[in-house]
A and B are shown apart, each in its own frame.
Chain A
């Protein structure tokens, strides 16, 4: 029983990180109709920056509760990179066929992958003191790291916050209006350029936050970005590209499918995920929550 609960918690842990990454990807697509292939690298950037910051500040010492405040550093840096990327590299391409946007972001993926290696070298970077500070707790007799519960809480809090932001604020109304009809929004006086930068920055920050909160429990390694990108594709394909609710449901489904796959069918875990994504695309091309 205890093991089952641990597995469910692990699936939720996976889901909350996946939501942060895929939610950002989906938000950006929903507003700007761009699939950012470099999105996974912003998640990796968040992980590296947070791990590096925590490593510098603690300098080998043990962590305290205050050090949690250092984690958002990764999200901020990822957001800043996004805020620079959109106006300089993506804006000139909106009038061209969408293939070009895929190509430019693929180029950025290659560049960012090596930039991480250039700055932090080929070795994994960890921020484990923070993870250790929270220690373990016992769930029905099974020891479990308490920090992971914090990650799940942050993931779901972020989901609630983004939901409130998009549906309950004036900025959210402008964002949705731009997403539905960019020309009309522009005609009504919305500064579309600004909305695009803001949406792109928020999307990148979400990915960066995902990397930042997962890094104490794991490590920042090269290649984590590409892996995360492919998984978040599965999430948005299941949930529907451009839908935040879809990203949440897709992330939860993906988290549980991965958990079941890893536990019972380790050989075909990945194949199972992609097949489910393909099946959803076949039955509902726009995903479970997407607009057709």
Chain B
């Protein structure tokens, strides 16, 4: 039946996803609050990684400009606070996703005319426009000081917020992030397994052939770009109330590089790669920053090592190891 997703892969995916989901739900009861918060920020990054990888892993487009959509989601939240004086998390997420989707629709429309290195540079150049606007229009954006975002209210105040911010972050907020993380994973899984997702992979593997079987190449790339931007914007909107502050740094292209890092670390040829990559990266960065002043050096060296030695990332390498062990039996 065209258009339907077969039952086999669904069962297999659920068999992996359900136990992991159960562990994630129980974690705040087991670990100290700060660890739960750390994990939740890793999961937020994972949503951005998922979005980013729809372009790199499934469509074959490497964007060095995704910080713009992350930042756009976060700035949209800050604008809601500054101009509409609202603290509603639901409005935050809605505003963040819509803002990021609109901006990525505009930028994507231009970028998808190119592929390969020109796509990367154009995506970066246009993202830098947003960064420079965020930096220079300080009466709107606060310039380098950024904008503050207070602790939000969930469900219009139905969920009462604990006094301590860390209790909030490791409690209600953790489950909010988890909820959206599950939703993002499910939606992305459906997208990449849908006919549209298959069309993207066909474009990635052979653009000419894809066009020959009536795939509308440029339009599909554009839609993928917008979906990708919206996911990344959702991550930004989820992330900013926890951080409490958004500055132009999160729109700068080196932050785009971090999002790229998520996908490469986990392995961009697999669905779970960017998720694992984002969570691991978050811990890696946390420990690197905590242990050395030269954490950029450590991260950079890891990236070089990954590309040289483990081009399929953590997930790809573990998968290959598992296969080898199985065939050795």
Contacts and interface: CB of A to CB of B under 8 A. Distances in A.
A108 interface: yes
Output the residue of B120, B133, B296 with the most chain A CB within 10 A: B296
A104 B254 contact: no
B122 A278 contact: yes
Output the residue of B64, B124, B132, B311 with the most chain A CB within 10 A: B132
Interface stretch (A52-60, A123-131, A209-217, A226-234): A226-234
Nearest to A33: B117
A110 B257 CA distance: 10
A269 B137 CA distance: 11
A102 B120 contact: yes
Interface string B125-146: 1101100110111000000000
Interface stretch (A16-24, A90-98, A153-161): A90-98
A269 B132 CA distance: 9
A241 B114 CA distance: 14
Q: Name the interface size band of chain B.
A: 35 or more
B198 interface: no
B294 interface: yes
Interface stretch (B158-166, B170-178, B298-306): B298-306
Nearest to A268: B136
Contacts of B133: 268, 271
Contacts of B257: 106, 109-110
B314 to A, nearest CB: 15
Nearest to B256: A106
Contacts of A100: 307, 311
Nearest to A279: B110
Nearest to A234: B125
Given A102-B62, A282-B113, A270 B125 contact: no
A59 to B, nearest CB: 29
Contact of B304 (A107, A113, A115): A107
A234 B122 CA distance: 10
* Majority-rule SS of B interface residues: helix
Interface in B286-329: 293-297, 299-304, 307-308, 311
B56 interface: yes
B128 A111 contact: no
A73 to B, nearest CB: 24
Contacts of B181: none
Output the residue of A35, A93, A103, A267 with the most chain B CB within 10 A: A103
Contact of A237 (B113, B125, B129, B308): B125
B52 to A, nearest CB: 13
Given A106-B260, A117-B294, A270 B128 contact: yes
Given A106-B303, A278-B110, A118 B125 contact: no
Given A96-B311, A104-B307, A106-B303, A114 B125 contact: no
Nearest to A275: B129
Interface string B57-78: 0000010100000000000000
Contacts of A92: 308
B118 interface: yes
Contact of A233 (B124, B129, B299, B303): B124
A89 B257 CA distance: 19
Contacts of A98: 116-117
Contact of B308 (A104, A111, A277): A104
B253 interface: yes
A118 B297 contact: yes
B102 interface: no
Contacts of A117: 293-294
A281 interface: yes
B64 A274 contact: no
Interface string B91-134: 00000000000000000001001101110111011101100110
A277 B117 contact: no
A104 B137 CA distance: 34
Interface of A: 35, 89, 92-93, 96, 98-100, 102-104, 106-115, 117-118, 226, 230, 233-234, 237, 241, 266-271, 274-275, 277-278, 281-282, 285
13 contacts: A93-B307, A102-B64, A103-B264, A104-B308, A107-B304, A109-B300, A110-B300, A237-B122, A268-B133, A269-B132, A271-B133, A281-B122, A282-B110
Give 4 nearest A-B pairs by CB, closest first: A110-B300, A107-B303, A270-B132, A114-B297
Given A113-B297, A117-B294, 10 more contacts: A111-B300, A111-B304, A117-B293, A226-B254, A230-B128, A237-B122, A270-B129, A282-B113, A285-B113, A285-B114
